[in-house]
Amino acid sequence: MDVRRVVTGHNAEGKAVFASDEKVPALTMKLLPGSEFHRLWGGEEAPTFPDDGSEPAQATYFPAVGGYRFGMFMIPPETTASIADLPDMEAATAEVEEKMPGLLSYMEPDAPGMHTTDTIDFEYVISGSITLELDDGAEVLLKAGDTVVQNGTRHAWRNTGTEPCRLAVFIVGAHRKS
């Protein structure tokens, strides 16, 4: 599914303008069959104004301290997809690294789906339902209209339902206390 992104900015006189209005295609990957990700906006440092509406550079999927990301993702039901049948795992892994740099480095190979980032994530469930799993198997079922604020927690998303779950997310790089 494409997502329409309208971006405002400022002209040379400082007047508000529509800088762009375009469709952002979903990123799909063989290693994450049935999933979709939309990298809608982000940057590596706090933005400045006035701006021309140009999308800031984003070196990695998750931002460092001072960086931010805005996007959407869709997780299919667990019964929908399997990576077991992938003919070329190396190519599928390379595809993820190309489209969402650094994402796989956060994933725990011995605990599928589990990951921890130095970010605060603000999530909103748009449609469907999803189980958010934390350490030691603690779980909460989230439904359309629910929100989550994740403060650098170890977690995984599990869609045990029958419909895809779509979420909007705003991610901010954060300092982790030692």
Q: Is residue 27 part of a domain?
A: yes
pLDDT in tens, 47-66: 777 678 888 889 999 999 99
pLDDT in tens, 4-59: 998 887 788 877 888 888 999 999 999 888 999 999 999 898 877 767 888 888 99
CA 163 to chain centre: 19
Q: Is residue 178 part of a domain?
A: no
Question: Which strand (E) or helix (H) includes residue 99?
Answer: helix 89-99
Q: Is residue 25 part of a domain?
A: yes
Q: Is residue 164 a contact partner of residue 76, using CB atoms and an 8 Å limit?
A: yes
Looking up residue 69, the CATH number of its domain turns out to be: 2.60.120.10
Best CA proximity match to 84, nearest among 92, 73, 76: 92
Q: Is residue 10 part of a domain?
A: yes
Q: Is residue 155 part of a domain?
A: yes
Q: Which domain holds residue 95?
A: 3-173
Domains contained in the chain, number: 1
